[in-house]
């Protein structure tokens, strides 16, 4: 069992829901990004999703797109993203890190080389939004062979016919996208999310966490209560974009985590 499995087992034993936070690596620059990432565990974050900047993030809304552009403009690359993870690991060997992004930078780096480098940097899981289950041989299966979890997205349009393919070879947890559309585009509704999460959990023993459309502690509590945890990304990234000091961003994250953990 890797760090992701261990963390969810710990949370289950404690009777707590998971709080997962997404930030874009290198936004607005390497040093300030690292400062925020280093502060996430103390703010109550159970799993860190680290965004990999990319020039064509088709599943992301304006907030995440602009974060990626700022990171790229500041010189962020896949190599520097892994360097940021290595720096974080110098002070934290326990918090799981999931690298979230698109396949092109990984393909350009070379899959075998990427997996070796990611493992050495302390990456525990991958979310690659533009690789469907039909392409598992590209990255999913090699990642699993290296002990790196491959986390799949399920959405409101993932029907019962499609769900088995989505769950096949998925590990770590299942990320349920609570809305149809791009990141940051709507507000999640627990009454709609709950039945969908129950449907997914009936088909897998993996934890299910819910993301997209969560912006305040009350929503974090409500949505986490329908699942095994929740994810907040755009709302955190927006505060970084506004130039808030790291301590203020982390205070906001701590409030969200408190909400999720109260579920």
211 is a domain residue: no
Separation CA 17–CA 214 (nearest Å):
15
Whether residue 192 is contained in a domain is answered as: no
Q: Which of 60, 124, 136, 228 is catalytic?
A: 60
Q: How confident is the model at residue 187 (pLDDT cuts 50, 70, 90)?
A: low
Secondary structure letter of residue 54 according to DSSP: -
Total domains in the fold of the chain: 1
pTM as predicted: 0.95
For residue 186, what pLDDT is reported? Answer: 54
165 located within any domain: no
Per-residue pLDDT tens digits for 126-158: 999 999 999 999 999 999 999 999 999 999 999
User: What mean pLDDT, rounded, does the chain reach?
Assistant: 95
pLDDT in tens, 89-133: 999 999 999 999 999 999 999 999 999 999 999 999 999 999 999
Q: Residue 96 is part of a domain; what is its CATH number?
A: 3.20.20.70
The two beta strands, 153-154 and 149-150, are: unpaired
Q: Is 60 a catalytic residue?
A: yes
Residue 25 contacts residue 237 (beta carbons within 8 Å): no
Question: Active-site residue among 46, 49, 117, 124?
Answer: 49
Query: Residue 238 belongs to what domain range?
Result: 3-150+224-258
pLDDT digits (tens, 9 = 90+) for 13-56: 999 999 999 999 999 999 999 999 999 999 999 999 999 999 99
pLDDT tens-digit map of 52-89: 999 998 888 899 999 999 999 999 999 999 999 999 99
Tokens of residue 79, six digits: 């190599």
170 inside domain: no
């Amino acid at each position: 069992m890797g760090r992701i499995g261990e963390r969810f087992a710990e949370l289950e034993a404690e009777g707590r829901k998971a709080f997962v936070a997404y930030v874009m690596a290198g936004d607005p620059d390497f040093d300030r990004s690292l400062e925020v990432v280093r502060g996430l565990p103390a703010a109550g974050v159970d799993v860190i999703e680290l965004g990999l900047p990319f020039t064509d993030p088709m599943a992301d809304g304006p907030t995440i797109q602009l974060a990626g552009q700022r990171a790229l403009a500041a010189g962020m690359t896949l190599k520097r993203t892994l360097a940021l993870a290595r720096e974080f690991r110098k002070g934290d060997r326990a918090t799981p890190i999931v690298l979230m992004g698109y396949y092109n930078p990984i393909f350009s780096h070379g899959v075998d080389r990427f997996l070796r480098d990611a493992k050495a940097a302390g990456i525990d899981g991958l979310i690659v939004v533009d690789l469907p289950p039909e392409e598992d041989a590209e990255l999913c299966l090699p990642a699993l062979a290296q002990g790196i979890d491959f986390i799949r997205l399920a959405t409101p349009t993932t029907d019962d016919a499609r769900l088995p393919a989505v769950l096949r070879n998925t590990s770590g947890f299942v990320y349920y996208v609570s809305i149809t559309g791009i990141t940051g585009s709507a507000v999640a509704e627990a009454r709609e999310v709950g039945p969908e999460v129950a449907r997914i959990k009936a088909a897998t023993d993996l934890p299910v966490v819910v993301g997209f459309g969560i912006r305040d502690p009350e929503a974090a509590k409500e949505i986490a209560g329908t699942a095994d945890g929740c994810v907040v990304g755009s709302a955190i990234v927006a505060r970084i974009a506004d130039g808030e000091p790291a301590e203020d961003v982390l205070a906001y994250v701590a409030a969200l985590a408190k909400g999720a953990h109260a579920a």
